[in-house]
Amino acid sequence: MTARFTDKVALVTEGGSGTGRATALAFAREGATVVVTGREPGDLRRTVELIEADGGTADAVIADVTHGMDVIRLMKTVVERHGGLHIAFNNACFVGNPKPLVEMCEAVWGENLASNLTGVWLLMKHEISHMRENGGGVIINNSTNISFMEGRVGFGAYAASKAALSALTKTAAQEHIGDGIRINAISPGDVAAPASRVAVAAPSGQMAEDDEIASAVVWLAGDESQFVVGHDLVLDGAVAV
C-alpha cells in the first residue's frame, strides 16, 4: 500500500457496486480512509469487507443523498468518526427506464434530476462548507459523455441532468478554487457492467472497466493534477466525439 493519500479521508457515494466500489478500493490501496455511502447496506458492507481484506481502512454510512437532512447527517458522521473530509467522489448515476421525452413520466424525470443533479448539489454544498473551513480538498463529480454527444434516444432526462451537473461543476470550481478546493468532473462512456446496470454507449463502441474509471478519479484527486480545475474529463475511448 502506498502513502499517496495517507491521513486523508475519502467519501465515495454509491460505493456499494460498480465504479463506486472500484474507486473506493483504489483510494484505500493508496492509503486513504474510505467512507462509502448509499442506500443498500449489504452492498456497502461488502465494499468495506473487500477493502479490509486488502489491508485498507473503510467505513459505511447509509444515506439517501437526495434528502438534505441525510446529507447533513452523512457529513456529520464522517467528520465525527474520522476527523474530517479531504476527498469526495460524488458518484450519482440514475437512469431509470429510458424513454422518448413524450413517453416519459414525470416521476422518472424528477428522479433523474433528484439523483444526478440535486443530490450532487446537496453533497457539494456540505462538502465545500467543511473543506473551506479545514484547509481545502478535492471533489470529483460523475457525469456522462452523452453531454458531449449529439444526444441519445430515450436518455433525455439523464442527459439533461448530467449536462446540468457538468455546468454546476465548472461554476463551483471557479467559486471555490480560492478556498483551496479543486472541483472537477469525469464523463465516462460505456462501462462494462452486469446486466443489472445500465451502460451508456461510447461513440467508438469500446467499453471501459470500472477500474479504469477509478484510476482517472484517483488521478484527479492527487497532487499530479493540481492544475486541473473545473475540467470535465471525457473517458469514452473515442478517437473523435
Active site residues: 158
**Contact at 8 Å (CB) between 112 and 158?**
yes
Q: CA–CA separation, 166 vs 209, rounded Å?
A: 22
Name every residue whose Cβ is closer than 8 Å to that of residue 142 and which is 6 or more positions away in sequence.
Answer: 19, 89, 90, 91, 92, 93, 185, 186, 188
Report residue 134 as a C-alpha cell.
479545514
Q: CA–CA separation, 36 vs 17, rounded Å?
A: 10
Distances, alpha carbon 21 to alpha carbons 13, 25, 166, in Å: 9, 6, 22
